[in-house]
Amino acid sequence: MKEWFTAREAAELGLPGLPGTEQNVRRLAEREQWADHPFLTRLRKGMEGGGGREYHFRLFPTEAQLEFTRRALAVRREVTRDADGNTKLTFTGTETARVNRDARLAIVQAFESFSAGLTLGLSSRLQIFADRYTTRSIEVEDWIRDTVPQLSKRSLQRWRSAKRAGKADALAVDRSTARKGKGVLDAANGGGVRAFIFALVAHQPHLSADHIRTLCRDEFGETLQVERQGQIASVEIPPVRTFQHFLKRLKEAEKVALTKLSNPDKYRSTMAPAGIGALRHIREPNALWQIDASPVDALCTDGRHAIYACIDIATRRTIFYVSKTPRASAVAMLLRRAILAWGVPDTIKTDNGSDFVANDTKRLFAALDIEMDVSDAYSPQQKGHVERVIKTFQHDCATLLPGFVGHNVADRKAIEDRKSFADRLGADTADLFDVSMTGLELQRFADAWTETRYNHRPHSALKGKTPAQAAMASDAEIRAVDARALDILLMPVAGKDGLRTVTKQGIRIDHFHYVINAALPGTQVFVRMDPNNAGRVIVFDAGDGTFIDEAICPELAGIHPSTVLAAKREAQSETLDAATREAKRHIREITKGRPLIERVLDVAARDVPNVVSLPRRESEHATADIRNALDAVAEPAAPQKSTHEAKAMAELRSELTAPVSKQAKVTPIRSQETPQLRFKRALDLEDRIARGEEIETVDAMWLGGYQAGPEYRALALMSEDFGG
């Protein structure tokens, strides 16, 4: 058997768990560090100077090793040796046919040794050897004699010719199968009758031969088509007796296939291929757990309960939890008991039941960094260890419990029959099965049985050690979790996903409002419900999961709403003060400085490009309406001023044109400026600009706005009238 393979050869094997390409096999070898096993890795022959490597199949993943071994064993069963012990012959017939072939080949080999050196003719040698064999003058092994009790010259010659022609398999004879598959019901209608009967038996195993014959008449008519001597002939449908013999042979020959179709559970438990020691590589505690649940085979005063089981594969330690109904909370409580007792596991194998794949369960696994391995649907054999320990509990513990109802319907009927008809008449279930145990007592019995009996009983998978001894012998590090933190993670969430948005009334859950002080309205939070206090929830940040605060529902917590509201307002006021304190400081600084418009315009002025626009050619556009509008805005002729008015205007002109003393300090308080002072200020700025002096940006902006106003135009007009 070939045991060493290159990466390419390993990929071509098509084994489960082994990559199907050479590159991925090399990556697996590098990731699993196959090269670190000097006795299971070697250089390929002819490449000692470097290059390809060969790997022993023991380095393959466990699943691939099992399949490879199975294939190798199947090949060895088909490989046999010739009578001379040298030539390998491949044979796939029945065991009886193989024995007949080997016996005939051994006889031919014995004849060749017998006739070597004899000068007689071949016919004489054949006759002498056949006679001596029949009269037992030749020593022959018992199994050969039992297979071929008599020998004729003609048979010996025929066997000898077949061996020389390389047709040794033609010597394989099994007379019991000579007519196998050649009966009327086997071959009729091209095998269609047999296929139809097989389907009927698989669909309804309790059909009688008469039922099946009648259904065949309905399906194929009164005659069947059978091939005889190369011709298709019609024959009458056989009698019931023929169908009885055929059904007997069919059920024996197709026992496994019929069981898989008609009773899948029996097939999985008794006939489906099952690996032994497939999880032997799990050697450290908490590397892999398996969990499952099953109804207890005993009744309690408050009904039938389910038993949830958790088993550590490496040590076979087991913990049970009793629950009235199957739900995700029961899974959580089972894990709480196991984690506090053993630590956090790496992986947990579950089935795909609703309580095991619920969002709460997945969320708990993610929070504890536990990998969830869900088995395929309707595949209990994938978690056979926990299935087995539950069966052990049912047969070793539940059988002793008060209220035991049996492991199946037959057991239950037998228990009922122990009482006379008079005792059964009118009796309820509790009286009939002597039910006196509560659910709490069932939990206590399960714990006591586990600790005192199961965990201290030698286990065959542990080489005679007990689960308790296996756990104590390990020095592996245990990942422990604080019970308080674990209790928080086990709390159910609000609604389906636990997400809520805080409003001004608080957090709304099931038509109740929970008041929270540390979260402002609009904040999205993740909420866990306190199972021991309906008026209290634990609130976390929905983004990063950090703890925020507790929230209280006054109605459910028994607190007056006004008290909670006052505390809420005070806490929110403090929170807002802390959040806005820095902003208020900046607002004060902004209001004391320059106006925002001035800041924006200042920056905008710096961004204006220094580009001089060229003069454009213009033409005056005029219409009747435009001319009328110009007449409306034309300045009227200045009226003749009186002597008194002229004198007043002269005084104003003198005041406006009077020079300002350099020693005088002018305080530009806009609220104290008169129109004359503002006009005077504008004239000064215009003179400075005309002389080419630089002025402040603020002054330039003020001048531009002032020149566009009516006050400037009026005073400028008056100044012109006075000859300014």
DSSP-assigned states of every residue in 527-569: EEE-TT-TTEEEEEETTT--EEEEEE-HHHHT--HHHHHHHHH
Whether residue 361 is found in the same domain as residue 449: yes
Is the pLDDT at 574 greater than 50? The verdict is: yes
Is the pLDDT at 20 greater than 60? The verdict is: yes
The residue out of 79, 112, 127 marking a domain boundary is 79
CB 528 within 8 A of CB 542: no
The per-residue pLDDT for 697 is 83
Asked if residue 48 belongs to a domain, the reply is yes
- How far CA 524 is from CA of 211, 502, 506, 549, in Å, comes to 69, 6, 11, 13
pLDDT in tens, 261-317: 777 767 666 666 555 556 777 888 999 999 999 999 888 888 888 999 999 999 999
CB atoms within 10 A of CB 490: 19
CA-CA distance, 433 to 437, in Å (whole number)? 11
Give the chain's end-to-end CA distance (angstroms, integer).
Answer: 124
CB 365 within 8 A of CB 373: no
- Total of domains in the chain: 6
The dihedral region occupied by 522, where left means phi > 0, alpha psi between -120 and 50, and beta the remainder, is left
Whether residue 560 is found in the same domain as residue 708: no
The per-residue pLDDT for 419 is 56
Is the pLDDT at 529 greater than 80? The verdict is: yes
Asked if residue 137 belongs to a domain, the reply is yes
Is the pLDDT at 649 greater than 50? The verdict is: yes
The per-residue pLDDT for 312 is 94
Is the pLDDT at 351 greater than 80? The verdict is: yes
The dihedral region occupied by 361, where left means phi > 0, alpha psi between -120 and 50, and beta the remainder, is alpha
Share of the chain above pLDDT 70, in %: 77
Whether residue 238 is found in the same domain as residue 360: no
Least confident span in 240-254, 311-325, 599-613:
599-613
Number of helical (H) and strand (E) elements in the chain, helices listed first: 30, 18
CB atoms within 10 A of CB 546: 8
Average pLDDT over residues 698-716: 85
Whether residue 143 is found in the same domain as residue 105: yes
pLDDT in tens, 668-693: 544 467 888 888 888 898 889 888 88
Q: Which helix or strand (DSSP H or E) is residue 449 part of?
A: helix 439-449
Domain span including residue 553? 491-574
Is the pLDDT at 545 greater than 80? The verdict is: no
Share of the chain above pLDDT 90, in %: 16
Average pLDDT over residues 244-267: 82
Asked if residue 614 belongs to a domain, the reply is no
Least confident span in 143-152, 217-226, 293-302, 622-631:
622-631
Whether residue 371 is found in the same domain as residue 447: yes
At residue 73 the predicted structure's pLDDT band, cuts being 50, 70 and 90, is very low
Whether residue 525 is found in the same domain as residue 512: yes
CA-CA distance, 647 to 654, in Å (whole number)? 11
CATH code of the domain covering residue 496: 2.30.30
Is the pLDDT at 575 greater than 80? The verdict is: no
CB atoms within 10 A of CB 685: 19
Is the pLDDT at 397 greater than 60? The verdict is: yes
Beta bridge partners of 547: 540
Q: Parallel, antiparallel, or unpaired for β 536-541 and 524-529? A: antiparallel
Average pLDDT over residues 395-411: 83
Q: Which class for 435: exposed (0-12), middle (13-18), buried (19 or more C-beta within 10 A)?
A: buried
Whether residue 395 is found in the same domain as residue 453: yes
Asked if residue 620 belongs to a domain, the reply is no
At residue 50 the predicted structure's pLDDT band, cuts being 50, 70 and 90, is very low
Which residue's entry shows tokens 């195993």? 205
CB 501 within 8 A of CB 527: no
Q: From 483, 397, 482, 383, select the one nearest 442 (Cα to Cα).
A: 397
At residue 644 the predicted structure's pLDDT band, cuts being 50, 70 and 90, is low
b/e sequence 311-347, b meaning 16+ C-beta within 10 Å: bbbbbbbbbbbbbeebbbbbbbbbbbebbeebbbbeb
At residue 391 the predicted structure's pLDDT band, cuts being 50, 70 and 90, is very high
- How far CA 476 is from CA of 284, 459, 470, 472, in Å, comes to 7, 21, 12, 10
The residue out of 217, 242, 270 marking a domain boundary is 270
Asked if residue 592 belongs to a domain, the reply is no
Tokens of 466: 């007990």
Whether residue 443 is found in the same domain as residue 508: no
Largest CA distance in the chain: 180
Whether residue 197 is found in the same domain as residue 156: no
The dihedral region occupied by 278, where left means phi > 0, alpha psi between -120 and 50, and beta the remainder, is alpha
Reduce the DSSP state of residue 218 to 3 states and report it.
helix
The residue out of 122, 150, 177 marking a domain boundary is 177
Q: Which class for 7: exposed (0-12), middle (13-18), buried (19 or more C-beta within 10 A)?
A: buried
The per-residue pLDDT for 493 is 84
Asked if residue 713 belongs to a domain, the reply is yes
The per-residue pLDDT for 612 is 53
Whether residue 326 is found in the same domain as residue 443: yes
Least confident span in 57-71, 125-139, 198-212:
57-71
CA-CA distance, 253 to 259, in Å (whole number)? 12
Whether residue 67 is found in the same domain as residue 87: no
At residue 180 the predicted structure's pLDDT band, cuts being 50, 70 and 90, is low
Radius of gyration of the chain (CA): 51
Is the pLDDT at 660 greater than 60? The verdict is: no
Reduce the DSSP state of residue 444 to 3 states and report it.
helix
**pLDDT, mean over the chain:** 79
Is the pLDDT at 354 greater than 50? The verdict is: yes
Asked if residue 608 belongs to a domain, the reply is no
Is the pLDDT at 716 greater than 80? The verdict is: yes
Task: Give the list of residues 6+ apart from residue 411 with CB closer than 8 angstroms, or none.
Answer: 405
The answer to whether the pTM exceeds 0.75 is no
Which residue's entry shows tokens 């002018």? 666
Whether residue 222 is found in the same domain as residue 140: no
**In this predicted model, which residue has the larger pLDDT, 635 or 700?**
700
Q: Which helix or strand (DSSP H or E) is residue 223 part of?
A: strand 223-228
- How far CA 595 is from CA of 259, 450, 520, 673, 707, in Å, comes to 92, 81, 33, 20, 21
Asked if residue 57 belongs to a domain, the reply is yes
Average pLDDT over residues 605-627: 69
